[in-house]
Amino acid sequence: MLTNSLGRSDRLNRVHPVSQWAGKSEAGPLIFDRAEGLWMTDIHGKTYLDAFAGLWCVNVGYGQKSVVAAAQAQMEKLPYATGYFDFASEAAIRMAEKVAELTPGDLNHVYFSLGGSDAVDSALRFIDYYWTARGQPERKHILSLEKGYHGSSSTGAGVTGLAPFHAGFSVPTAHQHHIPAPGAYRSEDPSDAAVIAASVQALKDRVHALGADRVAAFFAEPVQGSGGVIVQPHGWLKAMREACDELGILFVVDEVITGFGRTGKMFAQEHEGVQADIMTMAKGMTSGYAPMGACVLSDKVFEGIAATGGTVGHGYTYSGHPVSAAVGLEVIRLYQEGGILANAQARAPAFMAALKRLEAHPLVGEVRGLGLLAAVEIVADKRRKTPFAADSGISQKLFSALLENGLIARCFNDGTIGLAPALTISPDQIDLIAERIETSLNTLSL
């Protein structure tokens, strides 16, 4: 029985992202009505603590009035200006300037997208163009990590190393390859040095097997988000940067989740003092208040492409949308001058400590994280570190239990709980997240 007309309409007319198209619950979706801070309220008045910032994006929390005012002012003054024909708006220029100032090293050239998938897609287009411009068009192969997520565009979905994004589609796998994800939890030798060395070796072996002069780039997330919040050892990103230099391939860092304070630095590359050749970002860039992403190019890549003197035929109507840019500028001001980045840094140790205490629970195998990005990995057998099977239904059971207890968190297929609360989180809210996870685990019927 459908319980309300909105739910019925949803089932009739709305196609949801990454969802089963048939056999959904007749009750309709969970429909949210309003939100404030980290709290969301559904249309029936039930409140939830959002420990996932929407979809790892609402970093400044809900209800930031100055962001709303910035959007309104821009809409009233100039709601749209294209970037085609050498047209521009002040907001888009200022936002590009700000992003270039914040990103490491000579990542100076900002190409705006609407989100992460098209930022990655833009990166793939520019990589292709760059190598062709450099007289090496045979460099077509792209490497990334198993369980990596780089969006779901028709080419980017292949760079993503998660089976559900490939199943049923023809992804262009002829040029897309994955090397193992460097997690320590189940490694025979979990030391940082061993995990890093194995990953570097895997990259080199695969590049040499393909032919080093046929490989274009390696894509990495500084922390693998959608793959289950897999945190690589400190030093991994730097080692991969050096390996890419040695191999002569481009190093792309996808900071769509890790950017804008999520890991305790403005960008996760800063933890290791490294710089990508190309960087992608979205989500926290506008904190979800308006859609915006970017593909940022280093001087080397930008100049390599510019040197052709030709038209680079890649563009979107809404690239550099002035309203999104105005929102982005205000959101960044809140991170910096509104103390939100400082709060993320201050709260991270207590966040990790509260979650780490859950490791005493019989169902919790490992708690890991960086900054305010974390995972609580649930296991079927704690001693053997056996994961729940993807078809065990654990993910849905746990997700329902968390919602029942008023907590929104991501539940990956194996039951791992992903957490990415707004960076404005308070000490009380940290305790409440841990408490509600524990209650949910205790009430879970397996």
Closest distance between ligand PMP and the C-beta of residue 428, in Å?
28
Residues that bind ligand PMP (CB under 6 A): 115-117, 120, 149-151, 221, 225-226, 254, 256-257, 282
Nearest residue (CB) to ligand PMP, 226 versus 298? 226
* Residue owning tokens 């072996």: 205
List, in order, residues 6 or more apart from 398 with CB less than 8 Å away: 378, 411, 415, 417, 440, 441, 444
Q: What kind and span of H or E run contains 380?
A: strand 373-381
Nearest residue (CB) to ligand PMP, 113 versus 440? 113
Closest distance between ligand PMP and the C-beta of residue 7, in Å?
25
Task: Give, to the nearest 10 degrees, the angle between helix 340-356 and helix 427-443.
Answer: 30
Nearest residue (CB) to ligand PMP, 219 versus 441? 219
Nearest residue (CB) to ligand PMP, 258 versus 440? 258
Nearest residue (CB) to ligand PMP, 102 versus 253? 253
Nearest residue (CB) to ligand PMP, 149 versus 399? 149
Paired with 327 in beta bridges are none
Closest distance between ligand PMP and the C-beta of residue 221, in Å?
5
Nearest residue (CB) to ligand PMP, 216 versus 279? 279
Closest distance between ligand PMP and the C-beta of residue 266, in Å?
16
Closest distance between ligand PMP and the C-beta of residue 118, in Å?
7
Closest distance between ligand PMP and the C-beta of residue 148, in Å?
8
Closest distance between ligand PMP and the C-beta of residue 32, in Å?
18
Sign (positive/negative) of CA torsion 195, 197, 202, 203?
Answer: positive
Nearest residue (CB) to ligand PMP, 395 versus 405? 395
Q: Which 8-state DSSP code applies to residue 28?
A: -
Q: Which is nearest to 305 in space by CA: 140, 137, 128, 141?
A: 128
What gap in Å lies between CA 370 and CA 437, rounded to an integer? 19
CA 261 to chain CA mean position, Å: 12
Closest residue to ligand PMP, judged by C-beta, is 116
Q: Which is nearest to 186 in space by CA: 61, 40, 365?
A: 365
Q: How crowded is residue 28: how many other Cβ atoms within 10 Å of its Cβ?
A: 18
Paired with 176 in beta bridges are 142
Nearest residue (CB) to ligand PMP, 133 versus 420? 420
Q: Which is nearest to 281 in space by CA: 85, 96, 73?
A: 96
Nearest residue (CB) to ligand PMP, 199 versus 286? 286
Closest distance between ligand PMP and the C-beta of residue 282, in Å?
5
Paired with 250 in beta bridges are 217
Closest distance between ligand PMP and the C-beta of residue 209, in Å?
26
Q: Which is nearest to 94 in space by CA: 337, 330, 338, 329?
A: 329
Q: Is 407 helix (H, G, I), strand (E, B) or coil?
A: strand
- For residue 313, CA distances in Å to 122, 126, 129, 369, 405 come to 11, 10, 10, 40, 50
Q: What kind and span of H or E run contains 280?
A: strand 278-281
Closest distance between ligand PMP and the C-beta of residue 417, in Å?
16
As a whole number of Å, the CA-based R_g of the chain is 22
Q: DSSP labels for 233-245?
A: PTTHHHHHHHHHH
Closest distance between ligand PMP and the C-beta of residue 57, in Å?
8
Q: Which is nearest to 236 in space by CA: 179, 280, 292?
A: 179
